[in-house]
């Protein structure tokens, strides 16, 4: 099974100047745990996760004024849509994160979450069955 088969193709995309609250609201509205941050000055996409939002609030930052750029992971690890799902899962595990931005060349085409991987493996009988 490939990343393209299970990734979430509808991506929450924001800019680096969006506030933490704006990003959190966009993620909550779409019921996702991460947003892709497009910064024209960066070499690749960044990612802001629910964990990043939680840490910003826990640090006492004002979510109404704090920019996403202050809390995102710049140049996020990306997966290809053609990666095997096991490779993607191993990448997430070794990197200690729960989301991968999926890019086809320089285009963001989706986000893969641990939940996507678990759902696919549960429905198909585990990684050996894919």
pLDDT recorded at residue 85: 95
What pTM value is reported for the model? 0.87
Q: CATH code for 3-129?
A: 3.10.580.10
Q: How far apart are CA 49 and CA 27, in angstroms?
A: 9
pLDDT recorded at residue 130: 54
- Low-confidence spans in the chain with pLDDT less than 70: 126, 128-130
pLDDT recorded at residue 98: 93
The radius of gyration computed from the CA coordinates of the chain, to the nearest angstrom, equals: 15
Token digits of residue 81: 């849509």
């Amino acid at each position: 099974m490939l990343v393209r088969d299970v990734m979430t193709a509808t991506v929450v995309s924001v800019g680096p100047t969006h506030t933490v609250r704006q990003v959190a609201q966009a993620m909550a509205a779409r019921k996702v745990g991460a947003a892709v941050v497009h910064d024209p000055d960066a070499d690749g996409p960044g990612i802001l996760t629910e964990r990043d939002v939680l840490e910003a609030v826990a640090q006492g930052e004002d979510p109404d004024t704090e920019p996403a750029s202050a809390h995102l992971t710049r140049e996020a690890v990306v997966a290809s849509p053609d990666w095997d799902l096991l490779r993607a899962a191993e990448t997430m595990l070794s990197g200690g994160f729960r989301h991968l931005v999926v890019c086809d060349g320089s285009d963001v085409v989706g986000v893969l979450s641990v939940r996507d991987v678990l759902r696919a493996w549960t429905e198909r009988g585990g990684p050996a069955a894919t």
